[in-house]
Amino acid sequence: MLRTALRPRYLGLLALMVVATLVCGLLASWQWDRAHRAITDRADGPAELGQIQDVLGVGDAVTNEIVGDFVTATGQYAPDEQVLVPDRRIDGTDAVIVVAALHVRLDDGTEARLPVARGWIESDAVTGTDGEPDPALAPPVPTGEVTVRGRLEASEPAADGVSGGLTDAIATPLLVNEWGSPMYSGYLAQVSEADALHPMPAAESAFSRGLDWQNLGYAAQWILFGGFFLYLWWRSVRTAYLDELAERREAMQDRLARAPGETAPDASSPEPATAASASSPTATAQTSPTPDKDV
């Protein structure tokens, strides 16, 4: 099998597979590093990152390196861009989260919406006479320019959409359809108590809980991919080697099967007369008829 593996064709294939394996190894190392940084950052606690414009671009994903850290945003709230997120359980209380759009001015002079979870309030405080949450009972947004400080959180998974000022998730894909774009992909969870609202607790989304394990899983997958490339080369060499052995075995069996027929004489064919028997007087006498004598 070694001779098969050392053929130029399979040496070239090996070089290609080694390159692919090295690339997989680099990607695995990158994912491992991301997972390690995530664990280290959580151990160090949240950091102060400064203004949202300097931390996150509009539409950029809130990565694990910055999720849960503190940012500051300055802008103006839109009075008609506020929704309620009911059916939450916070500190053992049935709660409703109040989310509003803060219009943040960017460096190029344009504005982008930043969803701000202004805080939470007891469900009874915003429940209407029909027993359903009423957005009109929520504390109105502040007027004029405000500065808000809070944790930068990733968008929650989108669910049923926004209807009547109510939604079941702080999901920017839903809010952008309701309020318009451009909009930041994450949201700011206000950590100071204001306007009769309680400060937001730390997010417990699957994103913030499990990204380190997700990165570790990605690292393991890249390692498996790299091993698969090497296995694919070995399997190709082994298959070619076994095919050649089978061909040689069949050729040998064919030769052994044909050899007796080619060397054995054919009994059905008459033996040719030899020159000695044809010219022998004895043979002629024995075969010649005896002439009759006169009586």
Give the total number of structural domains in the chain.
Answer: 2
Instruction: Please say whether the beta carbons of 130 and 203 come within 8 A.
Output: no
pLDDT tens across the length of the chain (295 residues) = 877 778 788 788 888 888 888 988 888 888 887 776 666 655 556 778 889 998 998 988 888 778 888 999 999 999 899 999 998 988 888 999 999 999 999 888 899 999 999 999 999 998 988 888 998 999 999 999 999 999 999 988 877 778 888 998 899 989 999 999 899 999 999 988 887 899 988 765 444 444 566 777 888 888 888 888 888 888 888 888 888 888 888 888 888 887 665 554 554 555 554 444 444 444 444 444 555 544 3
Q: Considering the domain boundaries, does residue 142 fall inside one?
A: yes
Q: Considering the domain boundaries, does residue 285 fall inside one?
A: no
**Residues of the domain holding 106:** 48-206
Q: Are residues 27 and 139 in the same domain?
A: no
Residue 193 corresponds to which tokens in the numbers above? Answer: 């108590």
The residues with which 121 forms a beta bridge, in sequence order, are: 96
Q: Phi then psi for 83, rounded to 5 degrees?
A: -130, 165
Report which of 189, 167, 190 is spatially closest to residue 178, judged by C-alpha positions: 167
Q: Within the chain, where are the H helices?
A: 2-5, 8-44, 52-55, 172-179, 206-263, 275-279, 281-287
Could you tell me the pTM of the whole model?
0.58
Q: Hunting for tokens 């103006």 — which residue is that?
A: 76
Q: Considering the domain boundaries, does residue 245 fall inside one?
A: no
Q: Are residues 39 and 98 in the same domain?
A: no
Q: Interhelix angle for 8-44 vs 206-263, to 10°?
A: 160
Q: Are residues 59 and 34 in the same domain?
A: no
Residue type, 157: P
Q: Hunting for tokens 């861009």 — which residue is that?
A: 81
Q: Are residues 38 and 90 in the same domain?
A: no
Cα–Cα distance list, 109 to 48, 50, 103, 113 (Å): 25, 19, 12, 13
Q: Considering the domain boundaries, does residue 260 fall inside one?
A: no
Alpha-carbon gap, residue 223 to 19, rounded angstroms: 13
Q: How far is CA 276 from the centre of its chain?
A: 93
Alpha-carbon gap, residue 77 to 80, rounded angstroms: 9
Q: Considering the domain boundaries, does residue 271 fall inside one?
A: no
Q: Considering the domain boundaries, does residue 267 fall inside one?
A: no
Instruction: Please say whether the beta carbons of 75 and 105 come within 8 A.
Output: yes
